[in-house]
Structure 1
Amino acid sequence: MSDEEITLTAGDAEATVRVANGGRVGGVRVGGVELLRQGERFGCFPMVPWCGRIRDGRFRDGATTHQMPLNAPPHAIHGTARDGAWTLARHTGDEAVLTYDLGQPWPYSGRVTQVFALAPDALTLTMAVETYASSFPAQIGWHPWFNREIGGASVEIGFAAQWQEERGDDHLPTGRRIDPKPGPWDDCFGMPDGVDVTLTWPGQLEVRVTSPEQWVVVYDEQDAAVCVEPQTGPPNGLNTAPRLVTPLEPLEATTTWRWRRL
């Protein structure tokens, strides 16, 4: 079943889930209007078991240092699950559940579960990482590519962050928190009360991206798309702010995109 592409429908909303292509959302259409940039690398992919870049592809777990492939030299980026084929566990007309078993080059065994739930005015994505063996650090996040233009209108990005992670020349946080700066951005922001970012295509659509998580990367340096990436920690977080997955406590996160016509 891993080669299937699933289509979910709710009202006049439609979402495709590409099971074999990294367990990603291939597209979201509202009244026939596509929200996401199309292409094998785009849509919205899961970032797991880490988000963004790991400095030099290396992270420590206790006294052990692990080396990940440098797929964004000199760093490793966006986890491993986006490059694999997932397994379809079940689906209905408006919901799908996918699983992915972690393995090499990730040094720990574990299972990732994604739930995609579509409503007429929203898409909710939920992800969990669990293990029945060794505990390990991990992160969860989503990397959507929203079309910059819809119906001839260019997107406006609105949010109020408490801080911005200062970005070094290597595109990784320096460890200093600074006041948020105007874009363009390829930056991580802190929102202690939860991620809340609004994308507005004037006269067309508004999409509000929310999550209980406290971190979001905003990327708008490309002409074709902008990215709003809720995640459970900052880039390089396996080293600086690790979240531990244990046999008793999985790592779980969720995000919702809610839309309305303007």
Structure 2
Amino acid sequence: MIDDVRLTAGSTALTIAPDDGGAIHSLTVDGTELLRQDPGTGCFVMAPWAGRLDHGALTVGDRTYQLPINHPPHSIHGTARDGRWEVVSASPTEATISHRLGAPWPFAGTVTQTFTLTDTDLTLAMRIATDHADFPAQGGWHPWFLREVPPATGPVRLDFDPAWQYERGDDYLPTGREIAPTPPPWDDCFGMPDGVLARLTWPGFLEFTITSPVRDVVIWTLPEQSLSVEAQSGPPNGLNTAPRTVTPDDPLDVLVRWSWRRL
């Protein structure tokens, strides 16, 4: 068993759980928890793909691989969140953990996460690398932000301005059409070609900004207790429809920054 890794900077604290799929179990600012705490929430890593994979089928070249169906009828959010992670390095404000890719994922490689904390921001960095064979990959993080926290005077407000919404079919996969953003509720992917920018505001407490160079973000507003803003390096089923190939000389790097300002 690998102990949780705890980072602290000023009055901010982060808890990372290598033995629970490399997930973030807690992020507190001034003693207030921002993430849901029941099992499977917090903030988990999505790798080597993010979102739904069409009926678990991955086609690379002339070969199709079948991955486990963990969210019928699809596979969802990759395999790394179910695997074991090792601590590569840890200091009071920065930690790096790594996970070896293997079965049921059909290619050998490594996913590395680095967390860098200050009192006003958290930088999440991911690298997906292959041992030898090329493969398509995506990466991102799936946070579960609490809607209500004790110091706030009301529930969290979400602000973002996407250029388009990926039209979602009845199977919850993009149809291939880009449409004008619809009103919530959402379990949808949005395109932000200049990079992801979204803001959560807990009135009277905290303004929380999510930025990333990636162009896609999934917004999930259906849970009553939480909402998710998932910056990721491609849309659902993107391994098949818009693959970004990882090669020995060209790993996939994903960067997301969370920053906050006390109100």
The two structures share one fold, judged by TM-score above 0.5: yes
Q: Corresponding residue for 1:18?
A: 17
Q: Secondary structure at the match of 1:238?
A: helix
Q: Secondary structure at the match of 1:181?
A: coil
* CA drift at 1:132: 2.6
Q: Secondary structure at the match of 2:104?
A: coil
The number of residues matched between the two structures is 261
* CA drift at 1:85: 1.6
- Is 1:114 aligned to 2:113, yes or no? yes
Check the 8 A contact 1:158/1:198 in 2, yes or no: yes
* CA drift at 1:40: 2.5
Distance 1:133 1:189 in 2: 33
Matching of residues 151-162 of structure 1 within 5 Å: 151=150, 153-162=154-163
* CA drift at 1:39: 2.3
Distance 1:199 1:244 in 2: 33
Q: Corresponding residue for 2:198?
A: 197
* CA drift at 1:204: 1.5
Matching of residues 107-256 of structure 1 within 5 Å: 107-151=106-150, 153-256=154-257
Q: TM-score under structure 1 normalisation?
A: 0.98
Q: Corresponding residue for 1:81?
A: 80
Matching of residues 30-69 of structure 1 within 5 Å: 30-69=29-68
Q: Corresponding residue for 1:71?
A: 70
- Is 1:91 aligned to 2:90, yes or no? yes
Q: Secondary structure at the match of 2:239?
A: helix
What residue ranges of structure 1 are gaps of 5+ in the alignment? none
Distance 1:132 1:235 in 2: 25
* Amino acid aligned to 1:163: W
Q: TM-score under structure 2 normalisation?
A: 0.98
* Amino acid aligned to 1:138: A
* Amino acid aligned to 1:246: T
Question: Which stretches of structure 1, 4 residues or longer, exceed 6 Å deviation after superposition?
Answer: none
Distance 1:85 1:173 in 2: 31
Q: Corresponding residue for 1:257?
A: 258
1:127-177 deviation per Cα after TM superposition (whole angstroms, max 9, x unaligned): 001113101001001100000111252111100000000011111111100
What residue ranges of structure 2 are gaps of 5+ in the alignment? none
Distance 1:110 1:93 in 2: 28
Check the 8 A contact 1:21/1:40 in 2, yes or no: no
Distance 1:241 1:144 in 2: 24
Percent identity between the two aligned chains? 52
Check the 8 A contact 1:122/1:257 in 2, yes or no: yes
Check the 8 A contact 1:20/1:86 in 2, yes or no: yes
* CA drift at 1:83: 0.7
* Amino acid aligned to 1:210: T
Check the 8 A contact 1:187/1:219 in 2, yes or no: yes
* CA drift at 1:84: 1.2
Distance 1:72 1:128 in 2: 25
